[in-house]
Amino acid sequence: MSCILWCLRKLLDLLAYVIYVFYKSYRRQCEFNADLVAVSVTGSDAPVHLLAKCDSGYSCWQQAAGDLKVALDNHIYTSDFFYHQTEALRLLKKKNKDNRYRVDDLPPLPKNPEKHTQVFDEADDRLSTMWQDHPSNYDRELNAKNIYIRSEFDDRSPWLLFDNADELKERITYKFYRYHFRIDRDVILADPIEVQGFIDEEHGERTYNPMYQGLYDNRDLFIKGLKDLAQDSANEPWTIAELAENHAKLYSAEVKHRSQLYYKRREEQRLMIGVFNGWHKPKNDELEFRGDVYEPGDAKRLLKKVEKELEADIGWLAQLDRKVFMTYFQMALQIHKAVAEELYLRYEFQLELQNIWYELQKQDGPMDAAIDYLNAQQGDTIPEKAFEELLTIFRDTHKAMKTMLKSAKSMTIPGLQNMPAGQSLRSFLLSADLIDGLSKYERSVSIGWINELIGQFREMRRKIDRVHFKSLAGILALQERIGLECTRRWAKPQPKAKAPVKAP
């Protein structure tokens, strides 16, 4: 009897798999047919160019929404959300060098109307997890241009179709604020150019002086025993000649090279962690690593290799960070004790802050994987094993958030640009009480609870990022002022010693 049941179960599993394959094929074919309908109206080129711009368009939407959320924290509201999406594209193109943001660099149509361009490359065509049942953009372009119909492009703004474009933009922006941010009905919307000035000012703080060679772009400061370092610097100060020499050699060409290696390995580490934990699936099960192709099962071994190299990088960075602090702290003592005290307190705050930043940052990969997985289900039943993994991710994230909020209670934000000094870090990181967590016995969770946890996590990540980079910018700006002042003082010609007066 058990043998018969086993065979029946296997037969049903096979039948379910066949149905699933046909269902996936059906969805892909529906997408191809929909593209052909669009081609019949607009020609073959227009849908392809739209696909090429969708990724960057969504990124611009996210960037603009995030920027406006920061402005909203300062009670600043724009009257034209679309203006900031255009400005976001400028920022993204500056920060990122890949083709996703080169929407104005699409290949022009050939003069011969019977020839066409190729926008997507099969080797580089990326597909997000939530669209795995869709054809790739490369395949969709081949389908759209199989029977080629040339498109006629009109470069004029689509806002010309509306008589009251400015009023319409403001109404849509107001609804955007009401829906996404739940703002009060009677808020005053400001001129978008003024609001963009605030946003550019915020981003300007994260664009550090080129002399740092990318050293501080996205990392912690590796300093231990800050109090002892300050005490040693005060008790055994270097000579002015030693300070001047160390200051001049802090950010050499070696710093640029080593920092580039460090950030490259950080990216490799994130990739290997994602593959090892199943959060990221390499295309065609080919894991590319430093010019070679590996099996996904090699991720654990490669991760150990990268982490060993990162240990050496962090050791070198720790020595540099220690030298930077000691140099500027002693230079600050040359100016005034109060300047040295301010520098010390800013470092102390930053070192505490980055512990919170790091712990929350560790939850990014698991949370992104959980969100992508849930989006891909589209109402399908979640297998028990996957559901248990989701619960573990949500519990771990909630625990990290709760612990970090507790750590932030005793921390006070120093004077930072566009932020009031003296504010509690805890009250800033999360405007509401943290949602209740899941007990270890709970085996069910509502979509509402998941959405609220994701919303609170994103709020904390966004705000800790803002304070982290502002705090680091404050340290670097103060050190730059200290360096300029000391250089100015040391450049002054020293008064000549008077000749000794001979006794008569």
Question: Taking CA 149 as the corner, what is the angle to CA 147 and CA 154, rounded to the nearest 5 degrees?
Answer: 155
Would the CA dihedral through 160, 162, 163, 165 be positive or negative?
A: negative
pTM for this prediction: 0.72
Distance CA 187, CA 290 (A): 53
* pLDDT digit string, tens, across residues 307-364: 999 999 999 999 999 999 999 999 999 999 999 999 999 999 999 999 999 999 999 9
* pLDDT digit string, tens, across residues 65-98: 999 998 998 899 999 999 999 999 888 887 765 5
Backbone torsions φ then ψ of 288, nearest 5 degrees: -85, 130
In the chain, where the domains are located:
2-146+161-205, 217-491
Listed residue (422, 423, 247, 222) closest to 330, CA to CA: 247
Helix (H, G, I), strand (E, B) or coil at 419: strand
Helix (H, G, I), strand (E, B) or coil at 190: strand
- Position 206 scores a pLDDT of 74
- Position 504 scores a pLDDT of 37
CB 328 within 8 A of CB 483: yes
pLDDT at 131 over 90: no
Q: What is the mean pLDDT of residues 403-419?
A: 90
* pLDDT digit string, tens, across residues 241-294: 999 999 999 998 888 888 889 999 999 998 998 888 887 888 788 899 998 899
Backbone torsions φ then ψ of 294, nearest 5 degrees: -125, 170
Listed residue (182, 166, 171, 201) closest to 71, CA to CA: 201
Residue 288: strand pairing partners: 293
